[in-house]
Amino acid sequence: MYKRSKMEFALRVAALTAAALLTGCASGVDDELNRYITEVKSRSGGRIEPLPQIRPYETFSYTADRVRSPFQPDRPDSPAAIAGPKPVKDRGKEYLEQFPLDTLAMVGTLQNEGRTFGLVQTQDGMVHRVTSGNYVGQNDGQIVDITGASISLEELVPDGIGGFYKRSAEIGLSD
């Protein structure tokens, strides 16, 4: 019995020691938290700034609805489109008008009865005879002069606002 009471006593002491250690650990965390809460509550409250004044929305009336939009091209009947050069509409297209100018090459000239003809080769190797007044290229290019070194022409290029302008071009003699 004596041994039993010593054993019970030792277990009680160990349990009390463990409980004391655990309560000591827990009380430190709570004390620190309680101090922080007390500190925050003791601070003086700051002044909250008032909300900014909201101004009423001012409406805008767009009055340029009768003016041409800068994002749309001029109408086809505008003075810019009427005054400049135009392609001939009822003219039948010639064979060499289906090719871009950079795919055509001048390979020589011919003279017959006082007229000079240019010889133009397409990419497929076919050679065609042209003279002044013939149309060549995809921009209504009309041949204006043929020399031994080049074929000069004038193209009608769209100006982007409904009209056209003339641009000079050449097909040079290839080596």
At 121-139, the pLDDT tens digits run: 999 999 999 999 999 999 9
**pTM given for the model:** 0.54
Confidence of residue 161 (pLDDT cuts 50, 70, 90): confident
Per-residue pLDDT tens digits for 54-76: 999 888 887 777 777 777 765 65
Q: What is the pLDDT of residue 140?
A: 92
User: What residue spans define the domains of the chain?
Assistant: 1-44, 94-172
User: Cα–Cα distances in Å, from 18 out to 10, 22, 30?
Assistant: 12, 6, 19
Look up the CATH number of domain 94-172: 2.30.30.830
Tokens representing residue 152 in the block: 């000069």
Residue showing tokens 């070194």: 149
Residue 169 has pLDDT above 80, yes or no: yes
Residue showing tokens 């489109």: 81
Per-residue pLDDT tens digits for 4-42: 677 888 888 888 888 777 766 655 667 888 888 899 888
In this structure, are residues 138 and 145 in contact, taking their beta carbons and an 8 Å threshold?
no
